[in-house]
Amino acid sequence: MGRMDLAIQDYGEAIRLNPHLVSALYNRGIAQSITGRFDLALKDFNDAIHLDPNLAQLYNNRGSVYESTGQKELALRDYSKAIQLKPDHANAYANRGRLYLEHGQSDLARKDYDTAIQLVPGHGNALVGRALVYERKGQLDQALKDYDTAIQFNPTFADAIHNRGGVRMKMGQAELALKDYDTAIRLQPGRSQSLTSRAAVYEVLKNPDLALRDLDEALRLKPSDPAILHQRANIYSAKGLLDLAIDGYTAAIERGRRNAEVYLGRASVEYRLGQFDKALQDSTEAIRIAPTRPDAFFFRASTYVRTGQLDLAIKDFSEAIRLKPDYVDAYSDRGLAYFQTSRADLALPDYNEAIRLRPDIANTYYNRGLLYHSAGKADLALKDFGAAIELRRDYAEVFYYRAAIYMQRGQVDLALNDLDEAIRFRRNFVLALEMRDKLLRDRNATK
């Protein structure tokens, strides 16, 4: 029999001897709550409140039981009653603030947390709660300050240390976040949330093997957790372990994680494996789940391009642009789809818009240059090819097509220079090799 069970037994004996002993009912209720016997705890607190309806702590603790059993409205009522009876009850303010925060009432939560902290400056739960309010409002510096204060008062406060790691990640301080997660895991080795968060830091720090180690440990603790399976599948995908990634995404879906991200993740791996029909099925499911995600439409459009269904691709690119009017890649790729379906008049405005939005992408200049070249607008094509080369010095295809224009103009030396560059960056560039050989033969024949 454990210590709590012995305590419950002792309090029970005290209550048997004196059924009106409020302190024994109160303490037994706490012990019952700690051991998860919420029905028995609730009965003890109810009996105690019947005997002493003006004791604030009874309402606060009964509120905690209600909260633990999902009866949030009753919990809120009890916390408020505790505050009414004892306006300096810091714990009741902190508890009510937590419920307000869960219900999205951030301003009311902040007010309660402020009061709790004024009453008890080192109130850890109130400091952490207020920090969460600041996080939701994007006030990361203020959140960090509250976490720091909570940790100063209690250096082993694992929740505060873990949450501070999350804020530091949002602030781009990955190394400091890693230290916080290390500490949280050292304090609570079975803390799977800290393991998955540390894995995310390792991903950012380009250390996928350590990330996988943490996720494997997290799955040992929670063997069928779909979120962890999903996270691990993402890392398998990034490492090129495509079969493991597929298995991971599938396992996550089978265990109930059916959001757009997991279907798009599996679709991206299927795409890389050339399984375009499956990729289309998964991306379509992602769109069904999240019909306002522009990236889902963009991905499916890209898959339609690979299967030669350009009209369907154009339709999806258009929907992606409708959902995200500054979607540069969607403009660029829709432009290419228009060009490939002989609709240059529609392709050109898309290329122009993509370049207006992002004038630093070489591929868009290249594609627009090809359009101008096919339309016989050599000067405009040369200008775009030149811009593409400025942005990407090793762009072999651009050198090749610019050489083709120079060759048409009889500028053999310029053409040969560009062909040399194309071949330097792509040694087995057959078209460039053939064009250079022809130019050299023709030039030698005229000597």
pLDDT of residue 10: 86
Averaged pLDDT in 10-residue chunks for the chain of 447 residues: 83 90 94 94 95 96 96 97 98 98 96 98 97 97 98 97 98 98 96 97 97 97 96 98 98 96 98 98 98 98 98 99 98 98 97 98 98 97 98 98 96 96 96 95 81
- 215 in a domain, yes or no? no
Residues 311, 329, single domain; the answer is: yes
Residues 398, 444, single domain; the answer is: yes
pLDDT of residue 4: 85
CB atoms within 10 A of CB 310: 19
Gap between the Cα atoms of 403 and 363, Å rounded: 17
The identity of residue 267, as a single letter, is: A
Q: What is the pTM of this model?
A: 0.85
Q: Which of 123, 68, 121 is nearest to 94 (CA)?
A: 123
Q: What DSSP character marks residue 359?
A: T
Q: Which of 317, 340, 359 is the last residue of a domain?
A: 359
Domain of 436 in residue numbering reads as: 366-447
Give residue 117's Cα distance to chain centre: 32
- 398 in a domain, yes or no? yes
Where residue 333 sits, what CATH number does that domain have? 1.25.40.10
257: Cβ contacts below 8 Å, ≥ 6 apart:
226, 227, 229, 230
Residues 440, 375, single domain; the answer is: yes
Q: Which of 373, 318, 385 is nearest to 344 (CA)?
A: 373
Q: Which of 359, 382, 410 is the last residue of a domain?
A: 359
- 270 in a domain, yes or no? no
Phi and psi, residue 309, nearest 5°: -95, 70
pLDDT of residue 118: 98
pLDDT of residue 95: 97
Contact 50, 70 (CB under 8 A): no
Q: Which of 316, 335, 359 is the last residue of a domain?
A: 359
